[in-house]
Amino acid sequence: MKILGIETSCDETAAAVVEDGRRIVSNVVASQAAVHARYGGIVPEVASRHHLEALQSERLLEAPQARRKTGPGRPEMVYRLSPVADRSMPRNYGELCACLLREFQEQPTGRPLTRILTEVGEREGQAVQTRGEPGSRSRRSAVQEHLEQRGYFPRIEREDGHLKLTLANCPYLEAARATPALCLFDLGLLQSLFGRPVRMAGRIVQQAPVCTFYVEDGP
């Protein structure tokens, strides 16, 4: 069995592959030690700049754009993944297509595609064994864990008193760009997972850096 191990810090990134717990197949370290040695310690701004330069050298980032809303602690520039990076991100077309094919085979024709996509997503969410009551911390943790397993790269946080979910990756981005209605599958999925109404805001297919959803608070 081969195991991939990844370690990151603000100034270094390392990846190694170990086979059968003993043999090191590969071990690569990207270090900035020489850069920070002159300062006698790590300088976060210098470290982040080197990370950005490394990503740009591999054509994984698009040209930076000025942030529309600035404030204390918020970077002035916004970096988005390039098409080269998009192609290397996790995809989950198999599960999505299987769900849709089952639905089209089992249901009569004539139903709007938007309704079908939302309902399929809701049923997928209902099939997941999510722990905790809707609105509870354990429920949020369960939802985040499930979305991570599906390759969405989720982040759940509070913003102005509302529960905000951002998804940094779309597991079927190319298909969603061709048919934006596919985003309704995610909407239905999230409403079932959270057990609460969910409102869709920014979307990656509309050139937003992440997909954004707001979960309505219950009574």
Two tokens, residue 97: 């297509």
E strands within the chain?
A: 2-8, 12-19, 23-31, 65-66, 77-78, 154-159, 162-167, 198-200, 211-215
- Both 70 and 53 in a single domain? no
The pLDDT assigned to 89 comes to 84
- Both 67 and 3 in a single domain? no
- Both 2 and 78 in a single domain? no
The pLDDT assigned to 189 comes to 95
CA 139 – CA 49 distance, rounded (Å): 37
- Both 104 and 199 in a single domain? yes
Give me the domain span that covers residue 108: 93-215
- Using alpha carbons, select from 55, 65, 60 the residue that is nearest to residue 82: 60
- Both 132 and 192 in a single domain? yes
Output the domain CATH number for residue 132: 3.30.1380
- Both 130 and 162 in a single domain? yes
Query: Residues 149-169: pLDDT tens digits?
Result: 999 999 999 888 889 999 999
- Both 137 and 188 in a single domain? yes
Half-sphere exposure of 6 (CA within 13 A, CB side): 1
Q: Are 148 and 154 in contact (CB under 8 A)?
A: yes
- Both 103 and 203 in a single domain? yes
- Both 101 and 159 in a single domain? yes
- Using alpha carbons, select from 10, 147, 84 the residue that is nearest to residue 155: 147
The pLDDT assigned to 169 comes to 93
- Both 197 and 143 in a single domain? yes
CA 12 – CA 28 distance, rounded (Å): 11
Query: Residues 205-216: pLDDT tens digits?
Result: 888 889 999 998
Count the domains in the chain: 3
Average pLDDT over residues 72-94: 82
- Both 110 and 159 in a single domain? yes
- Both 178 and 201 in a single domain? yes
- 101: helix, coil or strand? helix
